[in-house]
Structure 1
């Protein structure tokens, strides 16, 4: 995308609400709750079907919690894909909100049934499976979205478009940090901390990197507009022993040659969802903090610093205004970012369904290809650490 393509300032209006199904995300599922909130807030989806748990009783109870029709509450996602595909009012897409290791099989099942897919990150637990999903998506021509939702805050896209327009000049460095505290304490005896995130068979080659590091990786590439092509990683356990890393210090190199860092930890007391990005060019810098998502700090060399406020008239680029729904001072948050993401999924799926062409640059949602890059990043970081912190390519080629 270039600066010209950033000028699309409206989404195409919907012809109808699309029908959405869920796999996973039932009772107690935080990820499923975020997906559902974003879909509903976008006003472009009705949630109509689900296989919400591998436990049939829990699946049934969760479906009733969500007011699903009894004949569209499924015990098994295979049955869901087969029966939904045969309905005249089939779901238009499925949202996959399950542990990492199950994403590949579920996504394949629905793509092969002719149903568009929205998948939580990371896309898969192996690079081979990620590449296979990219190939299958291309073969089917269906829409495949991956939920890197932080990139859908209005001020994140404002930062990206300003950088693409050359506002801070040539990029000289990028730094992303994502700090949390939830892993500081010993394991909870009731397993309430989602124990599969420390099981290599379910989470993949890394834990904190798969969970929050992938967000840092995607954000760095998205905001700068440059792919991360190489990295060197140092992984640590800084909290109670759980088997896999809870902290990672990663040096990266952008395609344009600029260096950067990705710092992630889940054992930083006093930090909750402290995701922050800073990009510095030869003319200035841009900073954004997820815990203060409505503000973008911009510094130009030799000029006073600026703070751009979401929703303030004249402060936002025209291409960003479609992502802001409330006046300034009326706080938007992560739920609004999810709504923006689900809006773009809906626009893409409806356009494909009715054969409508969309202007280039209207949509920027993460695709299966972006998801596969995230998987390669996880594996490259683990490989680098195993080699004593050696520089390791992290592109898909």
Structure 2
């Protein structure tokens, strides 16, 4: 994106003082320029090294995380808080940042910000659909599900086989691309369901995660930490055997949280006794179990099980992933005529070289999201 020159800033400021709105000027004449508008009442992090013509306060350099958290944390005020950039720009308090969000630098305060206000917003000028520089997960493309990660850094679970931990995720480099959050207006317009944390854990800074995603009306959370699940304001998916637990033990919750959407069990061809235990526990309590078949990049597959895996591309990366034959053999354990279990599903329609893990061919998350919403409504009515 281009940056405004000093002369352009002076001209814009003069026009604003003469009664024109910043929104009209920038939208009509400066559509190729990146900027953010800000109301910020907290003390600024640094003073400007030199005076600027638009400045009536010190210059700040907000981080990408601060931008996302500020936008999605709208504090209530006596006057109705504006919820869109257009509404916000009508208020008349602007902080223009002359850089793209990937290289965010200092900006210029165009008018005095009331010291007593509690409003803290940072809004971008950007394309209609995505905010800011949002990157879509290729696995969920065209599925009705949009992913969102409100935190920075890597997931604290540190699962060795997670592609987010391996440095090969679609969001690398993470320092540049996290948080990764879509525009809530665009999400609402298209009726998408938000999957919170496809590459982190929603119980990692959980309160901040909940606060940061308040503007999403339809969402569910992913976590591998069975803690305070009912504190979440939407359905929750729990991974029951994360990281070092994958082959040895699982979280078997009792009682069941009212907003538990389903449990996700990590499956390979040598941990099936644990998978059986998980299925027996949760199916007896009417909770769906989604079998997520593991793929390995490093040499973690026991020699006697290597015949069940083949090196192939899975979405965007190549792994040692389960064959269709081995996948079918596992699924038959729960889906044949004698042992049919209506609570068991595979993540992805068909695994292996003859199948696909793309979410658009699956539907588990959308089905169970709406089923959980209905169940939660019924429980509220009963109480």
TM norm structure 2: 0.31
More strand by share: 1
Greater RCO, 1 or 2 (C-alpha within 8 Å, sep 6+): 1
